[in-house]
Amino acid sequence: MQVEKFTSIVSRLRPRLLSLALQFNADFDAAEDAVQEALMRLWTAWEELSEAADAERLSVRLTKHACIDAYRKRQQQQTVELKENSATTTADVVQEAEIQHALERAVTALPPAERRLWTLFAEAQMDSAQIAAATGIAVRSVSTMLSAARRHIMESLKKEEAL
């Protein structure tokens, strides 16, 4: 077959092939790439085809195969990325757990009054004024005790080399 005939068949088939590729890929660009790949493969087999119906059947099959190949490539790439991220994530999770345990030990080691105020501040998410209203301690004293608790926690974390 000749180049003009190939061009005319391709211009007629392209919308159908693009529709087929969009059924495989939600992404328009990926579908367009699959159609382009299929048409390139069709061009290499063009001289061996005897009629337009053969070209149509072959182009549909080539488009399906190009979509499947692209899907497998994406899956393989995602698997590699997931493995890379999981190694980092596992190390981060372990480190975060160690810091959390060190923080719990530091809070447990606080004097009871500071621990009580720190718990209201950190866990109940109360500010100094709310803590003062709940405990009956002056706002300035609450701020001073929270500052002391913060300092004790930081010293404890530095001593355990958690920071």
Is residue 34 within 8 A of residue 63, CB to CB? The reply is yes
162 has a pLDDT exceeding 70: no
Per residue in 34-57, pLDDT (tens digit) is 999 998 888 888 877 777 778 888
How many angstroms separate the CA atoms of 31 and 37, rounded? Answer: 10
Both ends of the chain: CA-CA distance in Å? 73
Confidence (pLDDT) at 53: 77
Q: Where are the domains of the chain?
A: 3-81, 109-159
Return the closest-CA partner of residue 52 out of 60, 154, 138, 124: 60
Using a cut of 0.75, tell me whether the model's pTM lies above it: no
Confidence (pLDDT) at 1: 47
Per residue in 111-147, pLDDT (tens digit) is 999 989 888 888 888 899 999 988 899 999 999 999 9
How many angstroms separate the CA atoms of 42 and 10, rounded? Answer: 10
